[in-house]
Structures are given as structure tokens and as C-alpha cells.
Chain A
């Protein structure tokens, strides 16, 4: 790589004095996710304002030049998502944040990012829909996250539930995107983006940062390099590194050849994208459980609903004397079906409180189909469930 190209590459995070030093801070979720991003090495942000995600972009516009990164407000969300593709292949870690209507606009770019195996992170601060909907709390995009992009393939989506998790999970999102060469979604909600809480930043050497595998590091020369080969997750040569790599979005052979089409080539190309994520779900997906051992009923939740659901579960156990367990999906997609089946025994009723009319209820039903007698949705549209509301629905059903 020429000296000029090297000099312009994004600076290594440890040589930057403008990162937050280890300690306690009081930040908004919107700010915490940007601090996590720049800690993970993100140096490119492109976005478009949309309530309730605009604060993320405003904070990014201030922080990015401080850490030697570049920020741009693009003309729309489609441009923002497309920008991430260019930035990622140009060698940078890139981020955008949007809300539900903008997320719909980004689906084509996400689709080509899946096909071309482009690492990038998109934060979706969900708001109710359909249409303009409203600007408050919602979890109505959780299905769009998995199925919104056209075509096959799979994707990773995380659901933070606190300001600390906005920081930690944005770092995790970048790590997963680099490790698996895939776009990763952080499915936040308006309450978690707008709340202010204590954020603890650990010593920098305790934060794991993963960077994409490179063919140079594996001794693969440009003439032998297969941009989508060598391994289930291909090493990624970026533009400007002398590998003359051709980015394509059409079905392709491992070397990027798009002319030799055939049904087997098509299947091999696309099925591998699906298997890369879904076949490694046990390594990628995380869940959190409490009071699970031998419980007779179960509350399964995710995102900031988990904050109020756990209060309801504790109260139901203490005051109501009910044997209720708690399970939180930290990773929404790939859906941890096997993990759930491994740890959830037979229960009477499963409660799924969601800020939608029942979306994650479906993969949960499919996963635990023979483990429960009844599954009950606890929907709430536009407003976060209170602990009392969830508790009342639990009592209504099983007391």
C-alpha cells in the first residue's frame, strides 16, 4: 500500500486521546452508542435526521472529528446506508442510526451488504408504525430486521435494554459484523435511546475489539485471492490494498465471476450466506435468564421491555407466590432456537410482552412448540409496559 494511502487510513483507537477514559459517566443512550462505536474503531458516520434517532447523529457530528473520523449528513436514508457500503469496503468501520421509516428505506442496501458480505452496523431506534405512526416507544421492526431485506441470507440483530448495553452492544455489533462479515442491526427503542443512566467504561485493555480477517495476514497473494472463498467467512481485502477486488451484488462464484451462471452456482452462493449466520447461531446468539430452574411459567422478553418485565416477574414471585421464570433475548436474530430448547423445560404458560401486537411470539412458538400449554402475548403500542401492567396480565391468566 502506498505511503499516501496508509497515512489516510483510519487511526488506531489506542492512539487517540479523545476516547472516553475508563470511569463512570452519566449519559443518554444516544450518546452511549456513539461512544461504544468510536471505542470499537468506527471512524465513519453518515446519517439523516429522524425522530427519535436524531440525537445519535447530532452527537456523532461532534465526536467524530474529535477522534479523527469523518461525519456527513446525507440527503436521505438510502444514501446513508449506501455510504456505509463504500466506507466499509474503503477500509473503515462505519455506522448509521435511523428509525423505522428510514429503516424501510435502507433495506436494499442491507440486502446488497448481505450478498457482498459487507461489515457495517445500523442502529434502528424503533418507533411505532405503520406509516408515520408516532414518535414514541415501539418494537414493531423486529420482523423487518430479519425479513425486510429482499432475498435470502440472514442477518444479526441485537436488542439493548439499557444505556450500558447501548455502549456494550454497539461494540459487540461491530465485533460481530467484522467477525462474520455481515451487516449487524442494533434494534433499540425510543426509551433506551432517550433515557439517561450511569455508564461504566472499563479499562481499555479489557474491551475486546475484533477486526476483519485479511488475506495479507493469511499469506494469500492477490492472484490467488478469492473475495468470497477460502473459508465460510472469507478474508476481506479492502479497496486500495493492491488486491484489485471487484465488489458484486449478483450471484457469483467465489472469485467474483458473475458470468458462469447455473442453478448449482446460484444455490452454493446464496445458501452459504444463510449457513454462515444460521449455522453458527449457537456461537452468535446470547440470552439471559433468571429463576428458570423448574419454573412453571415463563416470561420471554427483549429490549427495554425487559426492564419492566423483570420487575413484574420479581413481584409475581414475591407477592403473588407464582413460580415465574424470566428469559431475555439479547440476540433477536439469528433466533436461538436450539438454545431455547436446551434450557426451557415444560411450562404451563409463556408470556411474551412486546411493544407490538405479537411478533417475536412466532419464532418463540415455533421453538418451544411442544414445551408449553399456552402462549400469551402482552401487547402495548406506543408506550412502554409498566411493571404493574405486565403483572396484571400475568395474574389475569394464572392466578
Chain B
């Protein structure tokens, strides 16, 4: 039997038993995003000769976070809601050589984790943030999220959402991230390219990936993937027919000083050789 090429990066079993299949619902976009991420990591590992132990996956809480719960054959962390970026900052302070990928969701980035998100981008720490935006709080049963569009009916907006949705990419860009992009799960090659770019970028790479939640939207995964393609438009084509559609593409791609690079200059001004004062 031939196995999926990315299974080598997952722990199908641990010393105390079976871990797969993934706990996600059928057709969940998060599973696809894990697939794309592993393709990108595979590319960076092989082309840039980066060793497996340098990679670190961190997530918070929610459907997006289950990806790192116990499936990855890498160092990983399934942590507290919203605090992933603070934990990632801590890991980088302990060891700046880590290549960190953070899986977050709408709530983890835009709600409870909002403050840490803003400051991580401002500091431009060396992480690749993958925000899995499905427009709802999936894990807890379908409540409204900061990224839910106006009018949507959810379990906490039974009469329709009255609040505007967050544009997380704009927030990341203004806060100071080096690389900001938005794609959907229906654009696999673009997502893989962006994640690869993000991993290679020194600084904060924020990649928002619009994803499908078939269960809370009560639509089939295939239908939702079609809708994601139909309701998004590339930045370059916005003027043609962009009415009511979400912009996808790369919003910014800058070379800026990264936090650890700047801090290393502070450390280097002191002599650390034994025998010298």
C-alpha cells in the first residue's frame, strides 16, 4: 500500500497507541492547511538544508490548534488560547535558530490573542503565522467570531451579526509584519509558496488562509471550496470585478530588522570571553 507522501511528518502512532486519524470533521480546511504546510516545510528542509529539529509548531486552542495536538513528528506545542505568539517569542529568546510556525484561528489571533498578535507584528519576531480563518468559532460550537461578516446567523447571533468583520491582514501590515498575504484553501500552490516565503523571511510572516467549516455552514466541503474561489479576487484584478469579494494575494513583502537580530547587537557589545573583563 502506498501512503500519502506527507505521512512521514506525522505520528500515526506513539509508544502508547494510535493517534490518527485527525480529529477534524470531514472536509475541514484545517486538514488541508496542514497538508500544504507540510509540503512547504518539506521544500524548505530539502532545498535550504534546514534540519528537522529546527522546526517548531505552536498552536493555541480551537480547530486550528488540533493540528499540533499530538500528530506532528516535529517539536510542537498545543498551548493556551491566544498566547501562542508570546510562547513563540519565549522560544526564540531561548534559541533564535528555531523556525517557528504558528497555527492560529480567528479567535486565537483576532480576539483573545489580539494584543499579542499586534505586538508580535510590531516587534517583527521571526515567526510564520498561519491564521486559519473560517469565519466562526468552530470548536466551541459555532459562535460568532471577529471575522464573521455582518448579518451572519451563528449560535450567539441568532438574529444576525451586527458587527463588522476584522481585516486581519490590514492589522498585521499596519502593526509592522514583514510579509502579509491572504489565500484560501482552494489555492494550494499559492498557500505553499507563501508559507515557503514566510519560512525563509527573517521577521513576522502573516498568512491568512480563508478556510471552510462544512459543519457550521451546513454545506458540503466541495461546495464551500467553490464558494471560496468565487468570493475572492486577486489584488491585481480588484478593479475589474472586486465588488463584495475578499482580496487575496500578497499585501506586503518587506525586508526589515528582526527582533533577535537587533537584540544580538546589544549582547555583542559585551565581551563574553573568559579571562577578559
Contact = CB atoms under 8 A, between A and B. Distances in A.
Specify whether A and B are partners: yes
Interface of A: 1-2, 4-5, 7-11, 15-18, 43-44, 46, 65-70, 72, 74-76, 78-80, 82-92, 94, 108-109, 112, 223-226, 239-250, 252-260
Contact of A91 (B11, B94, B118, B259): B94
A109 B79 CA distance: 9
Interface string B256-272: 00011001001101111
A245 B75 contact: yes
Contacts of A65: 263, 266-267, 269-270
Nearest to A226: B15
B83 A259 contact: no
B95 interface: yes
Ranked 4 nearest A-B pairs via Cβ? A86-B90, A90-B94, A92-B94, A86-B87
B77 interface: yes
B272 A17 contact: yes
A245 B11 CA distance: 11
Contacts of A46: 86, 89-90, 93
Contacts of B217: none
9 contacts: A9-B95, A46-B89, A72-B93, A79-B115, A80-B86, A82-B87, A90-B95, A244-B52, A244-B53
Contacts of B94: 10, 43-44, 86-92, 94
Given A70-B263, A226-B15, A245-B75, A240 B90 contact: no
Contacts of B39: none
B249 to A, nearest CB: 30
Chain A interface, >50% SS class = loop
A242 B53 contact: yes
B154 interface: no
Contact of A8 (B17, B95, B272): B95
Given A15-B274, A75-B116, 9 more contacts: A1-B53, A68-B270, A70-B260, A79-B86, A89-B94, A243-B75, A244-B52, A258-B69, A260-B16
Interface string B14-34: 111111000100000000000
B68 interface: yes
B77 A247 contact: yes
B277 interface: yes
Q: Which interface residue of A65, A68, A112, A260 has the most chain B CB atoms within 10 A?
A: A65
Q: Which interface residue of A66, A68, A79 has the most chain B CB atoms within 10 A?
A: A79
Contacts of A5: 51, 53-54, 95, 97
Contacts of A2: 51, 53-54, 97
A9 to B, nearest CB: 6
B96 interface: yes
A249 B78 contact: yes
B80 interface: yes
A21 to B, nearest CB: 10
A66 to B, nearest CB: 5
A109 B78 contact: no
Contact of B16 (A84, A245, A257): A257
Contacts of A1: 53
B202 interface: no
B119 A79 contact: yes
B79 A249 contact: yes
A23 to B, nearest CB: 15
A76 B73 CA distance: 33
Contacts of B267: 65, 68-70
